[in-house]
């Protein structure tokens, strides 16, 4: 805007200065030329100003116009008299010389100042005018109508859906609630890990209620300029009030409601605080009966400003957690509706292979599988595609470039087959789904995937001891075959030690300690290990260390014994694995059954 103004001025100046060397402008001649013309009485018209004179000469009426600077002190009256005497038409001109010169100097200077101001504002990232424009444009309505999403598109988060159904019902039948005098929720905060469907749930709530859905993300609120975010909040709520009943959804609100921005953050604390305060003002100023419900989502509730969670603000918290086995199967079913599946596909098996996956990852698995099917020119998705898709989603794309050298491949084969074989030979373990020596991601050389039959919340001591043994199976196989171990077992050892330590200190499963809980989980849940959680003596510490080592060593011996007793089988299977790189659990089970009971 300032730019346009500046260019306008520049154009004006150019125009004015152009006027001075117009081709029509008078020809400048010495003053003597004028005096000659005066003497010869050739002048037909004259324009006289204080410092100059312009004239045209007879007899040629088309003759150029002349201009002379007058010699100071020459007698004005005399010139006028003589001109009059020869019958020339005389025009006096009032010069604005002083002003003209001033203008000539001031104009460029003023221009410079204007440009400079504009530039400074620009440097700061945009002027007030720009900021105000942003203030209203970003608080956007995604859709004036309700989003075409319903609770049927969401699965695995039944408790959250139950709560949000009520919210949707309130928006639909407001009178029902107000008549009884029930207090209506004003703000609903969805809390849960990324990808569990918080955004989806908010949209589904609006879709279910059939009301407009306003969405903005917390980060979008906060701007570089103090006051912009607050303006945006005001604007959003003004729009919402006009469209009530409706849902306002603030996604990733932790971007806005952070307790305090770290040093060096590009966004000033002042702006953050002003925006947050405006939001609080709007929340408080709301009469819930208007029919506007504020929803917000976060995966970092710990970063949220406590002020947001006070009564009358986000007074309802809905936990959106990762789905369990049944939930995962249901989510897979929703997303599999959009793709062609081969008849042999069992989504329950896929769900069993994906513990810990959130909805977004499961959606990703289905999509990756469909892409794989397309890539190999098949019309439908097979179980193999899904299997491969899980691996991809889990650990990034298969890294064909990072091939193992043969010797490494051999070691990894023995190692993984060690895990698998020990697992199959022990009674209390999860079935082996697949053994692979295809490197994936940056650090995984091979993998033995075990599929739990169901999500477990309780494990017995014998199950834990078997798990420990399986963890050491890889290393034991290396030891048995090569007489030494490799660095590949580092992660196994770490996990085994961790498990053994918990058995000793938390589950009371060590004889030397007895049924006593020494550590508890609290330390790990509430931000790391707290020194006061270790409340036992040096002596006990030594016993703990000894018991942990004993448990791991016992598991190691057990794994070694098992593998030793089945060494031919181990060698056989490992060399096959080296060949095929991947071995399915069912095939493995068949081989073992044949070998064990010939």
Task: Give whichever of 56 and 450 is closer to Zn ion, judged by the CB atom.
Answer: 450
Residue 450 corresponds to which tokens in the numbers above? 């075990």
Residue 202 C-beta: closest distance to Mg ion, Å: 8
> Cβ closer to ligand ADP: 154 or 228?
154
Note whether 473 binds Zn ion by CB under 5 A.
no
**Gap between the Cα atoms of 273 and 202, Å rounded:** 26
| Cβ proximity of 318 and 189 under 8 Å | yes
Nearer to Mg ion, 157 or 470 (CB): 157
- 157 binds ligand ADP, rule: CB under 6 A: yes
Q: Select the binding partner of residue 492 from ligand ADP, Zn ion, Mg ion, none (C-beta < 5 to 8 A, by kind).
A: Zn ion
CB 362 within 8 A of CB 331: yes
Closest approach, Cβ 500 to Zn ion, in A, equals 16
498 neighbors 521 (Cβ within 8 angstroms): no
Q: Are 445 and 404 in contact (CB under 8 A)?
A: yes
Residue 141 contact, options Mg ion, ligand ADP, Zn ion, none, Cβ 5-8 Å cut-off depending on partner type = none
Distance CA 126, CA 132 (A): 10
Out of 156, 257, 473, 488, which residue is the one contacting ligand ADP (CB under 6 A)?
Answer: 156
Judged by beta carbon distances under 5 to 8 A according to partner kind, the member of ligand ADP, Zn ion, Mg ion, none in contact with residue 290 is none
Judged by beta carbon, residue 60 or residue 159, the one nearer ligand ADP is 159
Of all residues in this chain, which one has the CB nearest to Zn ion in the complex? 474
Q: Closest distance between Mg ion and the C-beta of residue 310, in Å?
A: 24
474 binds Zn ion (CB under 5 A): yes
Catalytic residue among 368, 416, 478, 547: 416
Q: What's the rounded Cα separation, in Å, for the pair 313 and 151?
A: 25
Nearer to ligand ADP, 330 or 489 (CB): 330
With CB atoms as reference, the residue minimizing the distance to Mg ion is 199
* Strand pairing class (292-298; 246-251): parallel
Minimum CB separation of residue 237 from ligand ADP in Å reads 22
Report angle CA 457, 459, 461 to the nearest 5 degrees. Answer: 160
Q: Is 333 in the site for ligand ADP (CB under 6 A)?
A: no
Q: Does 198 bind ligand ADP (CB under 6 A)?
A: yes
State the CB neighbour count (10 A cutoff) for residue 334. 17
Chain centroid to CA 261: 17
Binding of residue 196 to ligand ADP (CB under 6 A): yes
User: Which DSSP category does 593 fall into?
Assistant: H
CB-CB neighbours of 19 under 10 Å: 10
Sign of the alpha-carbon dihedral angle for 186, 192, 194, 198: negative
Token readout for 598 is: 């010939």
Is the preceding peptide bond at 311 cis, omega within 30 degrees of 0? no
Q: In the complex with ligand ADP, which residue's Cβ is closer, 298 or 566? A: 298
- Binding flag, residue 154, ligand ADP (CB under 6 A): yes
Task: Please report whether residue 361 would count as binding Mg ion according to CB under 5 A.
Answer: no
- Rule CB under 6 A: is residue 197 a binding residue for ligand ADP? yes
**Residue 316 forms beta bridges with which residues?**
188
The torsion angles phi and psi of 85, rounded to 5 degrees, stand at: -60, -35
Q: From CA 565, how far away is CA 561, in angstroms rounded?
A: 6
Among 265, 312, 582, CA closest to 432:
582
489, 479 in Cβ contact below 8 A?
A: no
User: Smallest gap, in angstroms, from Cβ of residue 455 to Zn ion?
Assistant: 23
Please give the angle made by the CA atoms of 289, 292 and 296, to the nearest 5 degrees.
130
196, 199, 382, 505: residue in contact with Mg ion (rule CB under 5 A): 199
Q: In sequence order, what are the beta bridge partners of 248?
A: 214, 294
- 416 belongs to the catalytic site: yes
Q: Which is nearer to ligand ADP, 271 or 329 (CB)?
A: 329
Q: What is the closest distance, in whole angstroms, from the C-beta atom of residue 473 to Zn ion in the complex? A: 8
Nearest approach in angstroms of CB 163 to ligand ADP is 14
Q: Does 247 bind ligand ADP (CB under 6 A)?
A: no
334 near ligand ADP, rule: CB under 6 A: yes
Q: Is 205 in the site for Mg ion (CB under 5 A)?
A: no
Site for Zn ion in 477-496 (CB under 5 A): 492
Our CB check for ligand ADP shows the closer of 189 and 331 to be: 331
Nearest 5°: CA angle at 125, between 121 and 131? 90
- Which member of 230, 247, 293, 363 binds ligand ADP (CB under 6 A)? 363
Q: Which of 388, 492, 484 is nearest to 440 (CA)?
A: 388
Residue 201 CB, nearest distance to Mg ion (Å)? 9
Residue 297 Cβ, how far from ligand ADP at the closest point, in Å? 6
Q: Is 297 exposed, middle or buried (0-12, 13-18, 19+ CB in 10 A)?
A: buried
The reply on whether position 195 binds ligand ADP by CB under 6 A is: yes
Q: Which are the catalytic amino acids?
A: 416
Contact set with Zn ion (CB under 5 A): 474, 492
Contact set with ligand ADP (CB under 6 A): 154-157, 194-200, 297, 331, 334, 359-360, 363
Contact set with Mg ion (CB under 5 A): 199
């Amino acid at each position: 805007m300032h730019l346009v103004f500046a260019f306008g001025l520049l154009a004006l100046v150019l125009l004015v200065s152009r006027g001075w060397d117009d081709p029509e402008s008078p020809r400048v001649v010495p003053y003597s030329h004028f005096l000659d013309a005066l003497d010869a009485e050739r002048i037909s018209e004259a324009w006289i100003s204080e410092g100059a004179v312009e004239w045209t000469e007879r007899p040629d009426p088309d003759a150029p116009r002349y201009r002379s600077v007058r010699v100071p002190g020459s007698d004005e009256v005399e010139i006028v008299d003589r001109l009059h005497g020869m019958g020339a038409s005389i025009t006096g001109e009032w010069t604005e010389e002083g002003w003209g010169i001033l203008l000539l100097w001031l104009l460029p200077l003023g221009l410079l100042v204007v440009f400079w101001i504009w530039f400074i504002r620009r440097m700061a990232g945009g002027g007030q005018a720009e900021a105000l424009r942003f203030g209203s444009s970003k608080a956007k309505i995604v859709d004036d109508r309700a989003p075409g999403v319903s609770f049927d598109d969401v699965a695995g988060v039944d408790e959250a859906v139950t709560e949000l159904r009520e919210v949707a019902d309130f928006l639909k039948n407001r009178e029902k609630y107000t008549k009884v005098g029930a207090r209506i929720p004003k703000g609903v905060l969805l809390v849960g890990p990324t990808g569990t469907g918080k955004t989806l749930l908010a949209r589904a709530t609006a879709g279910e209620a059939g009301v407009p859905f306003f969405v903005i993300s917390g980060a979008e609120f906060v701007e570089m300029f103090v006051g912009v975010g607050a303006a945006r909040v005001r604007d959003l709520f003004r729009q919402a009030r006009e469209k009530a009943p409706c849902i306002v959804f603030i996604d990733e609100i932790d971007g806005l409601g952070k307790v305090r921005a770290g040093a060096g953050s590009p966004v000033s604390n002042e702006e953050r605080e002003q925006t947050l305060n405006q939001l609080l003002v709007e929340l408080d100023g709301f009469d819930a009966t208007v029919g506007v419900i504020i929803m917000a989502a976060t995966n970092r509730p710990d970063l949220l400003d406590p002020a947001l969670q006070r009564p009358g603000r986000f007074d309802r918290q809905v936990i959106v957690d990762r789905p369990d086995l049944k939930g995962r199967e249901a989510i897979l079913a929703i997303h599999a509706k959009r793709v062609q599946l081969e008849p042999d596909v069992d989504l329950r098996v896929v769900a069993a292979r994906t513990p810990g996956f959130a909805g977004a990852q499961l959606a990703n698995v289905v999509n990756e599988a469909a892409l794989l099917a397309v890539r190999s020119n098949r019309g439908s998705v097979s179980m193999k595609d899904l299997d491969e898709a899980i691996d991809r989603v889990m650990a990034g794309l298969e890294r064909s470039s990072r091939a193992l050298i043969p010797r490494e491949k051999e070691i990894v084969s023995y190692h993984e087959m060690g895990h698998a074989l020990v697992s199959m030979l022990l009674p209390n373990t999860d079935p082996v789904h697949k053994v692979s020596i295809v490197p994936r991601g940056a650090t995984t050389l091979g993998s033995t995937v075990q599929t739990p039959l169901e999500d477990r919340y309780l494990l017995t001591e014998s199950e834990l001891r078997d798990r420990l043994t399986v963890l050491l199976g890889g290393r034991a196989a290396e030891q048995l075959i090569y007489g030494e171990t490799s660095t590949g077992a580092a992660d196994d050892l770490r996990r085994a030690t961790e498990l053994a330590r918990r058995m000793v200190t938390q589950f009371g499963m060590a004889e030397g300690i007895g049924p006593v809980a020494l550590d508890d989980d609290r330390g790990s849940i509430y931000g790391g290990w707290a020194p006061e959680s270790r409340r036992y003596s040096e002596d006990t510490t030594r016993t703990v260390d000894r018991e942990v080592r004993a448990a791991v060593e016992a598991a190691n011996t057990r794994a070694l014994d098992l593998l030793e007793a089945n060494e031919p089988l181990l060698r056989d299977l490992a060399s096959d694995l080296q060949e095929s790189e991947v071995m399915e659990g069912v095939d493995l089970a068949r081989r073992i059954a044949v070998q064990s009971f010939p």
